Amino acid sequence: MNPILIVGAGIAGLALARQLRDNDQEFVLIEKAATWRCEGTGICLPANAVAGLEKLGLKEKLIDRSHQVHKIVFAKSNGKTLTQASLSNPPLNQQAFVALPRAELMNILQADMEDCTRFSTEIEHLEQSDEHVEVTFNHGEKGLFSLVVAADGIHSATRNLVFDEKRLDNLEVTNWRFIIEQDTRNLQPTYYVGKDEAFMRYPIGPNQVYCYAQKHDSTGRYKHYRDAFDLKPLFSNYCSEVTDSIAIAKSITVSRLYSVRSREVFKGRVLLIGDALHGCPPSLQQGVGMALEDVACLVKLLRKNHDITSALAQFKQQRLPRISWVIEESNRVIKLAAKGKFLIGRLIRNFILRKNGPANVVAWKKLFTEK
Ligand SMILES: Cc1cc2nc3c(=O)[nH]c(=O)nc-3n(C[C@H](O)[C@H](O)[C@H](O)COP(=O)(O)OP(=O)(O)OC[C@H]3O[C@@H](n4cnc5c(N)ncnc54)[C@H](O)[C@@H]3O)c2cc1C
């Protein structure tokens, strides 16, 4: 059988490559970048992401390098608690909830993978037949593959090359991420919700806090705000935990939030996984968990089915309902946050939060109950 081509050595691509290597299945892993690179922010991993890393045999390393959290707090901009929930009760306590610098997670996944990654490589052209996919790479080289797995992120070039729906939904939100040094002994993840902006403080180590800020921004004017000086006026009426965090922020990563609009999963022998399939706002922090669930499902189906076409059909059947729900729920939470722009919307949003509990915890309970 021809090898499997994995496009993109991010979280999804590396996880799949590791699993195929463990199963002695032939693959080629290509990566557009010239070398490993990673942004200097944090990443939060709910229980299903930890379960996914356990399946890859990486849980011990993860637990060593990450910080466990035990509850989620939602507060008003003045710091007054709106609602909170423990992560220690079923169904949330199947695994730990942890967080760590993103670079640490990537180091864990990249370890031993350099030799099997072809850097500076992209697909230039792709042609499908019933039996295989013929791929021409940017260097002019050609290859025949039994399956192409696109793990090339939310702006997937493979999706644009092969699939019909190329547009992403623009959530009209600008976000900023940075890590500060601060004692985290008494800190549990805290989300401050104000008007149509919000700020999260999430401990990722004994002396490191990952900060995430977002603001509804239909015109994109705030994406040019790049440092603490710019951010300060947007959060000037927030409590000191927030304003003090911004005051010491360095190297801020700025981005806009998008969601994959298409619900196409595969076409012929080209399959999407990870953010290429279900990239969406990080409201539920499901990016890694869902990517690892994709990998586990695909590997199981490839082992069970000799016929790749039926493996792909079953993958779609098993994954799509959960994926669609996560995208829609993540979008809904972002829209709920934006409701605070006007007083009446703020009152409704805060009422919903007080009544139901933290929006992400409510969604996690549903996700971890229905596997
Ligand atoms: C603001 C923000 C905060 C987030 N926070 C969290 C969080 O706390 N927890 C969580 O679980 N998730 C979070 N996510 C989501 C998470 O980052 C993604 O789900 C995750 O990175 C997806 O991994 P991936 O491998 O699918 O894609 P990516 O990480 O985007 O990796 C894609 C890889 O493909 C490569 N590539 C791209 N194009 C090509 C090409 N044409 N050819 C070859 N290679 C290519 C890229 O260089 C990259 O290495 C967040 C996302 C955002 C936007």
In whole angstroms, what is the distance from residue 81 CA to residue 264 CA? 41
Closest ligand 1 atom to 253 CA: 1
pLDDT (mean) for 138-156: 97
Cα 95 to averaged position of ligand 1 atoms, centre (Å): 23
Give the residue, out of 31, 50, 152, with the most ligand 1 atoms within 8 A of its beta carbon, to mutate for a pocket test.
152
Q: CA 315, 287, 15: angle at the middle one, nearest 5?
A: 65
- What's the chain look like in SS3? CCCEEEECCCHHHHHHHHHHHHCCCCEEEECCCCCCCCCCCEEEECHHHHHHHHHCCCHHHHHHHCEEECEEEEEECCCCEEEEEECCCCCHHHCCEEEEEHHHHHHHHHCCCHHHEECCCCEEEEEECCCCEEEEECCCCEEEECEEEECCCCCCHHHHHHCCCCCEEEEEEEEEEEEEECCCCCCCCEEEECCCEEEEEEEEECCEEEEEEEEECCCCHHHHCCCHHHHHHHHCCCCHHHHHHHHCCCCCEEEEEEEECCCCCEECCEEECCHHHHCCCHHHCCHHHHHHHHHHHHHHHHHHCCCHHHHHHHHHHHHHHHHHHHHHHHHHHHHHHHHHHCHHHHHHHHHHHHHHCCHHHHHHHHHHHCC
pLDDT (mean) for 124-142: 96
Task: Check if the beta carbon of residue 327 is closer than 8 Å to that of residue 280.
Answer: yes
* 141 Cβ contact list (under 8 Å, min separation 6): none
Given phi > 0 = left and psi -120 to 50 = alpha, else beta, which region is 108?
Answer: alpha
Which tens digit of pLDDT belongs to each residue from 12-34? 999 999 999 999 999 999 999 99
At residue 371 the predicted structure's pLDDT band, cuts being 50, 70 and 90, is low
How do strand 208-216 and strand 197-205 relate by DSSP bridges? Answer: antiparallel
Cα 10 to averaged position of ligand 1 atoms, centre (Å): 6
Task: Check if the beta carbon of residue 206 is closer than 8 Å to that of residue 67.
Answer: yes
Say what the pLDDT of residue 262 is. Answer: 95
Q: What percent of the chain stands above pLDDT 90?
A: 96
For residue 111, is pLDDT > 90? yes
At residue 218 the predicted structure's pLDDT band, cuts being 50, 70 and 90, is very high
Which tens digit of pLDDT belongs to each residue from 335-355? 888 888 999 999 999 999 999
Cα 99 to averaged position of ligand 1 atoms, centre (Å): 16
* 347 Cβ contact list (under 8 Å, min separation 6): none
In whole angstroms, what is the distance from residue 166 CA to residue 111 CA? 33
Cα 78 to averaged position of ligand 1 atoms, centre (Å): 33
Task: Check if the beta carbon of residue 122 is closer than 8 Å to that of residue 32.
Answer: yes
pLDDT (mean) for 244-271: 97
Ligand 1, CB cutoff 6 Å, lining residues: 7-13, 30-33, 43-45, 49, 122, 151-153, 157, 175, 177, 255, 274-275, 282, 285-289, 291
In whole angstroms, what is the distance from residue 38 CA to residue 19 CA? 22
- Ligand 1, atom 19, residue with closest C-alpha: 287
Closest among 317, 360, 350, 287 to 48, alpha carbons compared = 287
Task: Check if the beta carbon of residue 174 is closer than 8 Å to that of residue 334.
Answer: no
The pTM score is: 0.97
Say what the pLDDT of residue 370 is. Answer: 74
- Mean model confidence pLDDT for the chain: 96
Phi, psi of 209 (to 5 degrees): -120, 130
- Ligand 1, atom 48, residue with closest C-alpha: 10
Say what the pLDDT of residue 357 is. Answer: 96
- Ligand 1, atom 52, residue with closest C-alpha: 282
At residue 304 the predicted structure's pLDDT band, cuts being 50, 70 and 90, is very high
Which tens digit of pLDDT belongs to each residue from 54-94? 999 999 999 999 999 999 999 999 999 999 999 999 999 99
Cα 123 to averaged position of ligand 1 atoms, centre (Å): 18
The CA R_g of the chain, rounded to the nearest whole Å, is 21
In whole angstroms, what is the distance from residue 250 CA to residue 254 CA? 12
Report the 10 Å Cβ neighbour count for 250: 11
